[in-house]
Amino acid sequence: MRRLIRDLFLRYFDSPELAKLADAALLTSNGSRMAFTTDSYVVKPLEFPGGDIGRLCICGTVNDLAVMGAWPQYLSIGLIIEEGLDLRLLERIVASAADTANLAGVKIVTGDTKVVTRGECDGLFINTAGIGACPLGRGLSEQPIEPGDAILVSGTLGDHGVAILNARASLGLDAAVVSDCAPLNGLIAHLLHGPPTVKWMRDPTRGGAASVLIELVDSQSFGVLIREEDIPVKAEVLAVCEILGFDPLHLASEGKVVIVAKGEDARMALQLLKQHPLGRDAAIIGEVTSDGAGAVRLQTASGGMRRLLRPTGELLPRIC
Amino acid sequence: MSAGSAYRNPHLMRKVANEIKRLRIDRPIRLMEVCGGHTEAIYRFALRDLLPDWIELTSGPGCPVCVTPNGFIDHAVALARLSGVTIATFGDLVRVPGSTQSLAQIRARGGDVRVFYSPMDALYWTRQHPERTVVFLGIGFETTACTIAAVVQECARDGPANFRMLSALKTMPCALAALLSAPDVHIDGLILPGHVTTVTGMADFQFIAHRFAVPCVVSGFEPLDLMETILMLCRQINEGRAKVENQYLRVVRSEGNLHAQKAISRVFKSCDMEWRGFGSISLSGLSLADEFSYLDATHIQVEVEPIREHPGCRCGEVLRGVCRPDDCALFATACTPEEPCGACMVSSEGACAAVYHFAPVADER
Amino acid sequence: MCLALPMKLLSRSGDWGIGEIGGVRRQVMLTLTPEANVGQYVIVHTGYAIEILDEDEAERTMDLLDKIGAMES
């Protein structure tokens, strides 16, 4: 997919903002600074422990704006509905989206609906786009990322990924794991209104924390070192990963943020995160380093060091 | 008991590592593991970091996916093209390249390919879908063979009639004999597969010490298990001994699991089997015994494309341990985990994928 | 070859039982370990118990590892 974006879309859609491939585009219009983002949601199943596609489509877009240091304000919603979709299911999803929008303090101001023939989409696909005003709080610092900066996460990783895996009954696992799907603008506002210098944030959705950290160091003169024993992961998530042979760092979270803060502000940032209900399990997991440029290294709990790579293709359970 | 955390204690790991270093063996030694689970654990826990320079860890033919030639995938792909056929498979096989396609690719073109964690789950699914002919892809060594045997017995007893099996199941002892007999192979010690021996017991592997005088230790899969195993092997080498020892005492009994052995001998018979890198090894595979041969998916009429290896792929030599993955010209250039040319790169169990993931980061060492 | 994990047998009913690890439960087939008892740990591969964990041996292994390096040469 990255190749498709690089070789096809960027070639035709020629804009410096798009080329940055950030979670949201930062724009100026009539002297006002704002952020603009879009995302499409194709999750299966449509309802899962801890949420549904309605909650997800609001959170995902709100969070993409918030991690770029913008206050999310207005969303559009476009639904592609498969003919024959249970109307009670659709209503539950729409109600969920509305509740989540209220929770996040955003307004859905425009929308579109299409119905396609049975078999032409998997029940329901949703696209949301959002705009927000910059900055949120003091916004993101313009200071460049440098060795000594701290890497933090706002809570346990991989919950959403495991909740989805579990909801696909074919694996037969019974685990009390619910999706962490949540709007993060409140948590991020709390952090950005405080004193710490925050340089970079991303929400580790598809591809997990590994993917966002690899994106962080790509083509840079610095690297990242994270410590396995400091990474918060729920016991059930670890167990599912052990059984199926997955890495929790490759599984999606939909209510967490990975943060780079100035080194000396790390403890303060951690404290601020922990004050917020969505940041109770926050942790400092590593730092930016001068060696290992362009790579993410993991210090294993048993004392070794290895490189972290992106997950390859679809996540499949192993037998071997 | 937690998920093995006592066996990942860094303090104990260092203690065992120091004990290994104290042995001061004055020449480089090469230890081979022959189990994809061990390959993966060595990479995941970065064990090479803790070992002295004079120990080289190399991978052998321990990944059942890697040692299965393209023809098996081609056969499965051909079956997937038939209307009414569902391919039921373990996740490991889905992205493995065949001569022209993988199962993932045929699925994208409309083939019904489904992943199951357990062969029993596949049987349950088959009962719920009488309109489909379900072909289960039997891949693995003795550990998996016994579970598939149990499912075949269940199917023979209670149905359903629409379940079939395509076997690429393999057994380890003959393959190890072929490996150790190969002229270009040089191994000082063998790390034996802990879960295969859980099923077979230790007797089947005694020949390695007697005929080839190579020290062997049956190992568990936690990092501390592997470290203790390496220590036990180094001690044997130091003392000039060659025995088959058991590190995985909490699981492996010397006689193995008799129920599992019985299931395998009832449901399967030994047959000659193709191994990538070794050609045909006699009596190293398992095919359905006559009583169960009606379940064999090879009876389904289908045209399979002629087998073709990817030009330049050196998986065969990698599996014999005579070529390092990074010696292959395709390694990390044309062949990556995201776009694999050969089976050894597909899952993190394959030797090529393991080296790719463990490649030292620039400026290190 | 061959991903197998120790799971605690929470219950059994004939040929199958419920195994648990780290709070996660799954149906486990006991056909190959008919003598497994509730409360024991079984090694599970692709949904089948292939052996019963010997907890005494497990303790012995840890004790031995603990003693390594305790005697200075």
A313 CB near a chain B CB, below 8 Å? yes
Average pLDDT over residues B302-309: 92
pLDDT tens per residue, chain A (320 residues)? 777 888 888 888 888 888 888 889 999 888 889 999 999 999 888 999 999 999 999 999 999 999 999 999 999 999 999 999 999 999 999 999 999 999 999 999 999 999 999 887 889 999 999 999 998 888 999 999 999 999 999 999 999 999 998 887 677 888 889 999 999 999 999 999 999 999 999 999 989 999 999 999 999 999 999 999 999 999 999 999 888 888 899 999 999 999 999 999 999 999 999 999 999 999 999 999 999 999 999 998 888 888 898 887 666 655 55
User: Does B361 score more than 70 pLDDT?
Assistant: no
One-letter identity of residue C43:
I
Interface test with A, best of C2, C24, C45 (most A CBs within 10 A): C24
Q: What is the pLDDT of residues B157-171, one digit of tens each?
A: 999 999 999 999 999
Among the four given CATH numbers 2.60.40.420, 3.90.650.10, 3.40.50.20, 1.10.357.10, the one describing domain A150-308: 3.90.650.10
Helices (H) and strands (E) counted in chain C, each on its own, are: 1, 5
Domain coverage including residue C25 = 5-72
Q: What are the chain B neighbours of C9 within 8 Å (beta carbons)?
A: none
* A contact chains, 3+ CB pairs < 8 A: B, C
Tell me whether residues B259 and C32 touch, CB distance under 8 A.
yes
- Run of H or E including A289: strand A283-289
Tell me whether residues C57 and B250 touch, CB distance under 8 A.
yes
Asked whether residue B149 falls in the same domain as residue B160, the answer is yes
Q: What is the pLDDT of residues A286-305, one digit of tens each?
A: 999 999 999 999 998 888 88
Q: Distances in Å between the alpha carbon of A106 and those of A26, A57, A136, A311?
A: 19, 13, 14, 33
Average pLDDT over residues B288-317: 94
Q: What is the pLDDT of residues A134-148, one digit of tens each?
A: 988 889 999 999 999
Tell me whether residues B357 and A307 touch, CB distance under 8 A.
yes
* B contact chains, 3+ CB pairs < 8 A: A, C
Query: Closest partner residue to A236 among C3, C23, C26, by Cβ?
Result: C23
Query: Closest partner residue to B143 among C45, C57, C58, by Cβ?
Result: C45
Q: Are B147 and C48 in contact (CB under 8 A)?
A: yes
User: Does B2 score more than 50 pLDDT?
Assistant: no
Q: Are A55 and A97 in contact (CB under 8 A)?
A: yes
How much is the pLDDT for B270? 97
pLDDT-derived band at C69 (thresholds 50, 70, 90) equals: low
Asked whether residue B33 falls in the same domain as residue B71, the answer is no
Shortest CA distance from A162: residue in chain C: C24
Asked whether residue B164 falls in the same domain as residue B22, the answer is no
Q: Find residue B134's DSSP bridge partners.
A: B86, B163
- A64 CA: distance to closest CA in chain B (Å): 26
**Structural domain contains residue B194:** yes
Rounded Cα–Cα distance for residues B111 and B137 (Å): 15
Q: What are the chain C neighbours of A243 within 8 Å (beta carbons)?
A: 5, 21, 24, 26
Rounded Cα–Cα distance for residues A174 and B183 (Å): 50
Asked whether residue B156 falls in the same domain as residue B273, the answer is yes
| CATH 3.30.1330.10 given to domain A2-133 | yes
Average pLDDT over residues B226-249: 96
* C contact chains, 3+ CB pairs < 8 A: A, B
Asked whether residue B150 falls in the same domain as residue B190, the answer is no
CATH of the domain at B17: 3.40.50.11750
CATH of the domain at B142: 3.40.50.11740
Rounded Cα–Cα distance for residues B316 and B279 (Å): 9
| Residue B105, both tokens | 């690719």
**Structural domain contains residue B251:** no
Q: Are C41 and C7 in contact (CB under 8 A)?
A: yes
- C35 CA: distance to closest CA in chain A (Å): 23
Shortest CA distance from A310: residue in chain B: B338
Residues in C whose CB is inside 8 Å of some CB of B read 1-6, 8, 21-22, 29, 31-34, 41, 43, 45-48, 50-51, 53-55, 57-58, 60-62, 65-66, 68-69, 73
Asked whether residue B74 falls in the same domain as residue B152, the answer is yes
Give me the number of domains chain C comprises.
Answer: 1
Nearest residue to B299 via CA among B84, B32, B75: B75
Q: Distances in Å between the alpha carbon of A55 and those of A51, A102, A166, A186, A280?
A: 6, 11, 18, 16, 21
Q: What is the mean pLDDT of chain B?
A: 91
- C5 CA: distance to closest CA in chain B (Å): 8
Interface test with B, best of C1, C45, C51, C61 (most B CBs within 10 A): C1
Asked whether residue B7 falls in the same domain as residue B130, the answer is no
CA atoms within 13 A on the CB side of B214: 25
Q: What is the pLDDT of residues C1-28, one digit of tens each?
A: 468 999 999 999 999 999 999 889 999 9
Domain coverage including residue B33 = 3-62+173-246
Asked whether residue B76 falls in the same domain as residue B149, the answer is yes
User: Does B238 score more than 90 pLDDT?
Assistant: yes
Shortest CA distance from B144: residue in chain A: A319
Asked whether residue B54 falls in the same domain as residue B78, the answer is no
- A223 CA: distance to closest CA in chain B (Å): 10
- A164 CA: distance to closest CA in chain C (Å): 14
Tell me whether residues B16 and C68 touch, CB distance under 8 A.
yes
**Position of tokens 């037998």?**
A319
Rounded Cα–Cα distance for residues A201 and C27 (Å): 40
| Residue B81, both tokens | 């093209």
Q: What are the chain A neighbours of B43 within 8 Å (beta carbons)?
A: 306
**Structural domain contains residue B305:** no
Asked whether residue B111 falls in the same domain as residue B157, the answer is yes
Tell me whether residues A319 and B92 touch, CB distance under 8 A.
yes
Q: What are the chain C neighbours of B349 within 8 Å (beta carbons)?
A: 1
**Structural domain contains residue B183:** yes
Going by the DSSP 8-state scheme, the letter that residue B296 receives in this structure is B
Range 19-78 of B in CB contact (< 8 A) with A: 36-37, 40, 43-50, 63-65
Domain layout of chain A by residue ranges:
2-133, 150-308
How much is the pLDDT for B353? 85
Q: What are the chain B neighbours of C49 within 8 Å (beta carbons)?
A: none
Q: What is the pLDDT of residues B181-212, one digit of tens each?
A: 988 888 999 999 999 999 999 999 999 999 99
Tell me whether residues C2 and B90 touch, CB distance under 8 A.
no
Give me the number of domains chain B comprises.
Answer: 3
Question: Could you tell me how many CB contacts below 8 A there are between chain A and chain B?
Answer: 115
Tell me whether residues B64 and A320 touch, CB distance under 8 A.
yes
The reply to whether A2-133 and A150-308 are identical in fold is no
- C72 CA: distance to closest CA in chain A (Å): 23
